[in-house]
Amino acid sequence: MSFPKKLNFITGNRNKLAEVRAIIGNGVEIESQAIDVPEIQGTSEEIAKEKSRRAAEAIGGPVLTEDTALEFHALRGLPGPYIKHFLEALGHEGLNKMLDSFDDRTAEAVCTFAFCSGPGAEPILFQGRTEGVIVRARGPAKFGWDPIFEYQGKTYAEMDKEEKNRISHRYKALVKLQSWLAEEHEREV
């Protein structure tokens, strides 16, 4: 496999694109394409792999996809990779109400990036996890469930971008991707 100097990040979410560019930094050009690929039901890993396979087929080349999950410990991992749909249906307050009858409000934010070098290739996964607590919404409601996920006393929404980009689940997954990219580059040199 040749070292990718440009990654086609398959997303229509400007906030995710900005975070990926800020975390990856220089060295690799990140372009964005919004391609509607159907999502299967399954684990975060299964969903990420299938999404990247389908996106690579759709554009006929290398892609980077991302799947985000929010796993409530009291609900044994739900809503997990379906957090987007739960958030759309219930909102921040509804997500909190799901946990109101439990003592355990801990959760894990999970980000799974999948790189697929092209049609027919096996995707490679890079996953990051951050432990936190589900709280009543605090901070600007600009980015998904950020206002209800608290890490060390602050919600993601209360953090400035730089602070969040140093500790988030997305950051942890992208560090693994960066390391892999560096290894691939070294193999070619």
**Which residues are annotated as part of the binding site for ITP?**
11-16, 51, 67-68, 143-146, 164, 169-170
Q: How far apart are CA 104 and CA 84, in angstroms?
A: 22
Instruction: Return binding residues.
Output: 11-16, 39, 51, 67-68, 143-146, 164, 169-170
Please, which residues have CB within 8 angstroms of residue 9's CB and are 6 or more apart in sequence? 16, 17, 20, 30, 31, 32, 33, 63, 64, 65, 66
Q: Which residues have a Cβ under 8 Å from the Cβ of 159 and sit 6 or more positions away?
A: 139
Q: State the CB neighbour count (10 A cutoff) for residue 133.
A: 17
The whole-angstrom distance between residue 96's C-alpha and the CA centroid of its chain comes to 21
Element (H, E) at 29: strand 29-33
Alpha carbon distance 130, 140 (integer Å): 20
Structure tokens at 46: 């299964």
Q: Which residues are annotated as a binding site for Mg(2+)?
A: 39, 67
